[in-house]
Chain A
Amino acid sequence: MKVWPPIAATLFALFVWQIIVTLTGVQKFILPGPALVAEAWWYNRAVIAEHTLITLIEILLGMAIGTALGIATALQLATSKVARTLVQPILVFTQALPVFALAPILTLWLGFGLWSKIAMAVLIIYFPVTSAFFDGLMRTPSGYLDLAKTMQAHPSRVLWKIRVPAALPSLGAGVRLAAVYAPIGAVIGEWVGASRGLGALMIMSNGRAKTDLMFAAMLTLGVMSVLLYVCVAKLTRRLGDRET
């Protein structure tokens, strides 16, 4: 991918933003220009870094736990018809519930610390990971399974030697989705109740009309999410052609 077009587009967007702010003369607590936001970001860089680290820890732990749970569930569903019949409808039902609405109760249960945010991230990414990996496990090319059958293969070996490796690209797609959703989960958790993390910093800045700091925190979250996605994408692309 070429690096210059997106950078040029970003600079252009910042330019337009600054022009709008300058021409309309809008109050800076309503909409600060990019120059002011950059200034606030630099002035508060230590504070932002501290909150970013907290949010990043929540996201990474949430992703690790959510992915592990998703993998375990998908394997369980793929190998057991009973599990499919019992669990699958519940799984879809839970997806119909707005997870955001659970944020206050999670804070009540798990407290204001890291764990209520990690739980939010886990809840948000659990289904995409489970669903992507499960679909991959159920879509093993039928020719592979025919071949395995004529070889008198043991079912558990078919799972680990054929079905799982064939489903790894699907799992990769699920984990990439998780990298996009996990930050949303963590920040929602922080909005509902936290003293630390970028979400908490945004709420606090907003309350004190420090709109420039709010924007600085938000843009930091955006940049961090993009970097996270790029790293995860690089890691998961390798899943496709891994030697087992």
Chain B
Amino acid sequence: MTLAPSITFQGQASIEGRQLFAPLTLCLDAGRWTCLLGGSGVGKTTVLRLMADLPTGADFDGSIVATDGLPVVDRVAYMAQDDLLMPWASVEKNITLGAQLRGQTVDVVRMERLITRCGLQDHRTKKPSELSGGQRQRVALARTLMEDKPIVLLDEPFSALDAQTRAAMQNMAAELLQGRTVMVVTHDPGEAARLGHAIQVMTPAGLTAVTPPTAAVPRAVDALETLTCQSQLLTLLMGQAA
């Protein structure tokens, strides 16, 4: 992996002339987790998809630049709420999808290490349909890590999981994605309070930065400051909804 850069996202987006989000500036610090928290329809996923150069259906007027001046697009790994596992392929084949799609030889040593670190040793030849939701998301995480990109974009990656599995996945992701520039789009204040080195609340009016707790990421689910931050974020979201 090359050194993780900082990224500055600046601009506005509209769909058929109707504004999706007002001009905003979002900075992702190098090697840090930035949580973009917001309700449905504020355009947070659009921000993420623009960074990944994925189709959005929106007209974007602005710029996405990395501090090192190199292109962003080819240094991005992407993980979505849907695990996007190929149902016909085994766990191993899914983890190494990127290399197959680029026609490269698979780095077997790296794959073995990631299978172990994601706790998938007993599942390597299974099909996704034989796995639980949490196991499937661990495969998706291993596939994301297999790409070994300095920038990682997570679009509500754990929101389909039950509460305890989600907390476990947050711990695993925080540990394994250390040192990368990560952006998590989420609607879960608890997730933002646990994972964000920086937290930005996105509303139709723009971004509001919220100071996260001082504890190291991933923060304890039962720490007072995590819970205080969580309720502060929720209050902020509810205030906007009212």
Contact = CB atoms under 8 A, between A and B. Distances in A.
B106 interface: no
Contact of B101 (A143, A146, A154): A154
Interface of A: 141-144, 146-154, 157-158, 161-162, 165-166, 168, 240-244
Given A147-B78, A151-B97, A152-B102, A241 B84 contact: no
Interface string B92-110: 0100011011110000000
Contact of B54 (A150, A154, A158, A168): A150
Given A144-B86, A149-B52, A244-B88, 16 more contacts: A142-B55, A144-B84, A146-B54, A146-B80, A146-B84, A147-B84, A151-B98, A151-B147, A153-B98, A154-B103, A165-B88, A241-B87, A241-B127, A242-B88, A243-B127, A244-B89
B107 to A, nearest CB: 14
B88 A153 contact: no
Interface residues of B, number: 27
A161 B84 contact: no
B114 to A, nearest CB: 16
Closest 3 CB pairs of A and B: A153-B101, A150-B78, A151-B98
30 contacts: A141-B84, A144-B84, A146-B52, A146-B54, A146-B78, A146-B80, A147-B78, A147-B80, A147-B97, A149-B53, A150-B76, A150-B77, A151-B97, A152-B74, A152-B102, A153-B101, A154-B102, A154-B103, A157-B101, A157-B102, A157-B103, A161-B100, A162-B101, A166-B86, A166-B88, A241-B87, A241-B88, A241-B129, A243-B90, A244-B93
B225 interface: no
Given A151-B147, A241-B127, A243-B89, A161 B101 contact: yes
Contacts of B55: 142, 146
Interface string B68-82: 000000101110101
A158 B103 CA distance: 11
A79 to B, nearest CB: 16
Interface in B109-134: 127, 129
A146 B83 CA distance: 12
Nearest to B83: A143
A80 B75 CA distance: 29
